[in-house]
Amino acid sequence: MTVDLDAVAANWRRLNDRLPAGSECAAVVKADAYGLGAGKVAPALAAAGCRTFFVAHVEEGVRLRSLLPSVAIFVFHGPAPGTESDFLAHRLTPVLNAPDQIERWGRFAAQRGGLPLEAALHVDTGMARLGLAPADALALADDRRKLDGLRLVLLASHLACADDPAHPLNRTQLRDFSAIAARFPGPGRSLANSSGMFLGPDWLFDLARPGAALYGVNPTPDHPNPMAPTVRLEGKIIQVREIDTPQSVGYGATHRAAGKERIATVAVGYADGYLRSLGNRGSGYLGDLRVPLVGRVSMDLATFDVSAAPEDAARPGAVIELIGPRHTVDALAAQAGTIGYEILTSLGNRYHRRYVGEKEAHERA
């Protein structure tokens, strides 16, 4: 597995260039930077100029803080009971999603006294997942005592259908978010994720929060991918089987070689996040030759039909490109019946990981 840190940095710059002056491009590095490795990716992004980061869990924030002492770090899930002092000790800014979190952070600020504590406020405009219900947000705007001791630095909402520009919910959410934001003057406003950054200038506000696009997932699924690929995954062939009498391949005997067939067995399986749903649907590339995945994906192995390849190409030690320039994350995801996000965040810990561009990132930092 090769991660191109220069490509990640280039993607951030490309997204940043879409923003009007005065608007900032953050980076979402939750889930270990979508599986790419936050320990490498986040410093590369910081070296590229990114100053604001988002994680989901407070533990992710603590780890990120140890790498990046001087950036802003927001924690999407907000302060769970008992974590308040971790936020403070590591200078993490909680995203407050619900009345109990506002109360908790406010109580903590009151106990502490001193300077107000920073917070982001998340209002829900169409996900019904995290965030204050719009009515609660408006009630809070009318009665601000609950915000005593707090300094709101960001007002955010999250789009449900940004990858579908024609979906009417995009405009509805924009309208509702704008109405609520008008009642909270002061904090920066943030609505767009990766795909949201391609909906138009109205969605950009003061801060954009891209994740997937940084890592090369296409934020505009109906159009060519404007982002650079960042991950290359190659599976090593560890055995080649010559089949000359009809027989089946793999668990469940779901693929049957009717005649002569050459099967390359690659040391990658569903335990590595090479999803089992790819069985008899996936494919890879041996050089420039597309080779179909045949049979089921096993825990540690996958089998490819390399009958069309020259013998000296399909040999133990050769590699099959599973993700790369010929077979994108999005193409693999389509074969697996999922999205690029799930492919990346499933990338396993058994891969030999190589980071390119790293040295340059460190030199710039």
Question: Which residues bind to ligand PLP, rule: CB under 6 A?
Answer: 28, 30, 76, 158, 193-194, 209-213
Which residues make Cβ contacts (< 8 Å) with residue 172, sequence separation at least 6?
Answer: 125, 126
Q: What's phi and psi for 360, nearest 5 deg? A: -60, -40
Of 96 and 318, which CB lies nearer to ligand PLP in the complex structure? 96
215 included as an active-site residue: no
Q: How far apart are CA 71 and CA 91, in angstroms?
A: 10
Smallest separation, CB 196 to ligand PLP (Å): 8
Residue closest to ligand PLP (Cβ) = 211
Of 334 and 339, which CB lies nearer to ligand PLP in the complex structure? 339
285 included as an active-site residue: no
Radius of gyration for the alpha carbons in the chain, expressed in angstroms and rounded: 24
Smallest separation, CB 217 to ligand PLP (Å): 7
Smallest separation, CB 205 to ligand PLP (Å): 13
Render 200-268 in DSSP notation, one character per residue.
-GGGT-SEE---GGGGT--SSTTS---SPP-EEEEEEEEEEEEE-S-EEESGGG-EEE-S-EEEEEES-
- Looking at residue 317, what DSSP letter applies? T
Find the catalytic residue in 30, 34, 40, 215. 30
Q: What are 54's two structure tokens?
A: 């988002």
Distance from chain centroid for Cα 336: 18
Of 83 and 125, which CB lies nearer to ligand PLP in the complex structure? 125
Smallest separation, CB 209 to ligand PLP (Å): 4
Q: Which run of H or of E encompasses 333?
A: helix 329-336
Smallest separation, CB 5 to ligand PLP (Å): 18
Of 129 and 353, which CB lies nearer to ligand PLP in the complex structure? 129
Contact criterion met (CB below 8 Å) for 79 and 99: no
Find the catalytic residue in 34, 146, 215, 251. 251
Active site positions, annotated: 30, 251
